[in-house]
Amino acid sequence: MKIQSVIKLLAVIVSVQLAMTGCANADSGSAESSPVSLSAADSTAGDAGEEDADAAGDTDTAETEEGLLVKLEDLDLEDQFSDRDQDASYDKATATGIALDGDTASVSGDGVTVDGSTVTITAAGTYVVTGELDSGQIVVDAGDDDKVQIVLAGASITAGENAAILVKNADKIFLTLADGTTNTLSDSGEAYVQPEDLEQTVDGVIFALCDLTLNGSGTLEVAAKTGHGIVCKDDLAITDGSYHITAAGKGLAANDSIRIMDGTFDIDAEDDAIHTSKDDTEGKGYIFIQGGTFRLASGDDGIHAATALIIQGGDINITESNEGLEGDSVDILDGTITIAASDDGINASSNASAQNAENGGDGAQGDGGLPSGTRPQGKDGIHQGWKTADGENQTGAEQADTEDAGAEGASTDDTGTEDARAEGTKAEEAGQTPAAPSGGARGMGRGMNADPYAYIRISGGTIVVDADGDGLDSNGSLYIDGGDVTVYGPTDDGNGTLDFGDGGDAVAEITGGTVQASGSSGMAVTFADTSTQYSVMYVFEESQAAGTTVTLSDSKGNAIAEMTPEKAFQSVIFSNADLKEGTYTITAGDTEDTITVDSISVTAGTQAGAAKGGGGRPIA
């Protein structure tokens, strides 16, 4: 028997064992590790543990890229939260009381043992926790079928060796924040000591190896000085509560899904603020936000979904991020979203890493197979040049060396083609403006092959993006069907206000809603002629200063569209239901020009580097 066959057989055996034994044998690793394999049926179960959905189906989808994906149409958004997820009630008279007291605790009721500063819950039931515990923890080590409700009713726990609340085994945990109470959990600030009886790496202040629901109207403050804030290795559901999380790692992290119904979230994380990991099973890895109020500041992504990111409502303010929203696919149905990003505002990318590997590259997603320690600044080797791992700019000669070294591993991702990079370098050394890559014809330096599984779709809501990289960046298609979208895009020519995949069926289309967007012009693209709503892109001869009002007026002098960009810009895009065929005047500062709208998608002004968003004919 071939080694590969043995490995596959062992993988199937392990998957079956995991499905049978539940939370106790959940996958190993940190929040970034591959999660437990669950069936597609579980993707729409409001309560995976209660419905026992993980016992259904044994389809192995790990070998097909498409099988790993989750999209909006795969999920029943009306069935993401069980009745018990939403029920924060409890009977204090029949519950077991746990009174924390310094370095120990007293218990009234059954199902709990106390060993010094370690409180262990061993059975199903409701447990009401009060008081303060120093250098200790609550451990849940119950039966495979046990559902445990822990009510924090004015509790404060500073962890000793690892997690403040560690769930080793149970069917499902309900962590309820009692009304009117403030509860605090933190790690010690020291490196976590791993439990000898667990193969999994414990790396969060709250760490659960099974489904976890947070509910109740109280407040939870989490200080992760060393690890992540809240980690769930299965499905994490939040239906209410107020959360203040500071984390050296991620704020909220789960493997299978994160589902947020409501609540208030104030998260400062050095890594992603909200994050799901890649799953090996169809129907998992997604994030669904139905409502809530969010202030997120992250050192990496504001919200990062391993598969689908679906926002149906809520007030989301990402005050600091590398990329604001990211997923295989991003669907925005409603809500108010404000994003500040040092790279892309909204990004959709599903299989760039797989493409990179298939094309001989050894870099991570977006690295283009370049040698370790190099990465294109702004994802564009033409305009921006290469940077070393420590962020230093390379010289022209060093850039050429880097490009030569990376030629064999050149990827088809958004770093551009090898030839385009080489030509761009030669042109820049000669003091010339690089030509658009052959075949792309959609803006300077674009050479990213389209990702057939990635897309951004905005169908409603109010979205404001301030991005130093691409404003809206889909490695596949970009669709705007509704909503009110404002983008303050990049000021450098290595990025664009809009960006989408190159070739294949990738397209940028608008069929409804309102768009006003501004940014640089070097990578400027606009919507395709296949759109059904009119759009105008205007490229100014010179960069316009921040605060310059741009107005598009019809022949009667009525302002059809107007924006005042908060950053310098050289191109603008307008689209709304009032824009029709006809003659318009655009004004900005000292610039006044006439635009004739005689087709669905019109580009005017200084048009070098600008192009239509689909099919890709060059603009002269």
For the stretch 90-138, pLDDT in tens is 999 999 999 999 999 999 999 999 999 999 999 999 999 999 999 999 9
Which tops the pLDDT comparison, 606 or 55? 606
Radius of gyration of the chain, Cα coordinates, nearest whole angstrom: 26
Give the Cα separation of 401 and 483 in Å (integer): 46
In this structure, what are the phi and psi dihedrals at residue 556, rounded to the nearest 5 degrees?
-95, 0
Give the Cα separation of 245 and 274 in Å (integer): 11
539 pLDDT higher than 60: yes
- β strands within 9-164, DSSP E: 96-102, 104-108, 112-115, 118-121, 125-133, 137-141, 147-158
Which tops the pLDDT comparison, 280 or 1? 280
pLDDT score at 612: 62
pLDDT score at 607: 63
Average the pLDDT over each of 132-146, 437-451, 460-474, 535-549 and give the range with the smallest value. Answer: 437-451
- Going by C-alpha positions, the residue among 500, 497, 461, 502 that lies closest to residue 481 is 461
Measured CA to CA in angstroms, residue 320 lies from 106, 128, 273, 323 at distances of 43, 37, 10, 9
CA angle 232, 159, 217 (to 5 degrees): 55
pLDDT score at 364: 30
Give the Cα separation of 165 and 136 in Å (integer): 9
Segment 168-191 mean pLDDT: 98
Give the Cα separation of 590 and 402 in Å (integer): 43
Segment 482-492 mean pLDDT: 97
pLDDT score at 71: 83
What are 402-428's pLDDT values in tens digits?
333 333 333 333 333 333 333 333 334
Residues linked to residue 158 through DSSP beta bridges, in sequence order: 186
Average the pLDDT over each of 49-63, 205-219, 229-243 and give the range with the smallest value. Answer: 49-63
Helices then strands, counting H and E runs in the chain, come out as 6, 46
The sheet with strand 591-597 has its strands ordered as: 559-563, 550-553, 582-588, 591-597
Segment 36-53 mean pLDDT: 34
What are 345-380's pLDDT values in tens digits?
999 997 543 443 333 333 233 322 222 222 223 333
In this structure, what are the phi and psi dihedrals at residue 434, rounded to the nearest 5 degrees?
-65, 145
pLDDT score at 359: 38
% of the chain beyond a pLDDT of 90: 67
What are 221-259's pLDDT values in tens digits?
999 999 999 999 999 999 999 999 999 999 999 999 999
Contact 347, 451 (CB under 8 A): no
Q: What is the largest CA-CA distance in the chain?
A: 81
Average the pLDDT over each of 173-177, 211-215, 241-245, 448-452 and give the range with the smallest value. Answer: 448-452
pLDDT score at 246: 98
What are 258-271's pLDDT values in tens digits?
999 999 999 999 99
Domain boundaries, the chain: 85-342, 352-429, 455-605
Contact 477, 452 (CB under 8 A): no
Segment 539-566 mean pLDDT: 97
Residues linked to residue 591 through DSSP beta bridges, in sequence order: 588
CA angle 100, 105, 111 (to 5 degrees): 110
pLDDT score at 101: 97
- Going by C-alpha positions, the residue among 301, 310, 323, 213 that lies closest to residue 263 is 213
Local structure of 184: helix, strand or coil = strand
What are 492-530's pLDDT values in tens digits?
999 999 999 987 889 999 999 999 999 999 999 999 999
CA angle 223, 229, 235 (to 5 degrees): 155
Give the Cα separation of 553 and 89 in Å (integer): 57
pLDDT score at 611: 58
Give the Cα separation of 613 and 443 in Å (integer): 10
Give the Cα separation of 167 and 208 in Å (integer): 4
- Going by C-alpha positions, the residue among 267, 277, 345, 341 that lies closest to residue 305 is 277
Measured CA to CA in angstroms, residue 103 lies from 108, 134, 398 at distances of 17, 5, 59
Which tops the pLDDT comparison, 620 or 13? 13
Which tops the pLDDT comparison, 615 or 131? 131
Residues linked to residue 235 through DSSP beta bridges, in sequence order: 257
pLDDT score at 461: 98
383 pLDDT higher than 80: no
Query: Which residues, other chains included, contact 72 with Cβ-Cβ below 8 Å and sequence gap of 6+?
Result: 308, 310, 329, 331, 457
Contact 213, 174 (CB under 8 A): yes
Give the Cα separation of 349 and 369 in Å (integer): 17
CA 322 to the chain's CA centroid: 11
Query: Which residues, other chains included, contact 68 with Cβ-Cβ below 8 Å and sequence gap of 6+?
Result: 61, 62, 278, 279, 280, 282, 285, 307
| Length of the chain in terms of residues written | 620
% of the chain beyond a pLDDT of 70: 70
46 pLDDT higher than 50: no
> CATH number of the domain at 455-605, out of 3.40.50.2000, 3.30.465.10, 2.60.40.10, 3.10.20.30?
2.60.40.10
Report the C-alpha dihedral over residues 168, 170, 171, 175, rounded to 10 degrees. Answer: -90
560 pLDDT higher than 50: yes
How much is the mean pLDDT over the chain? 79
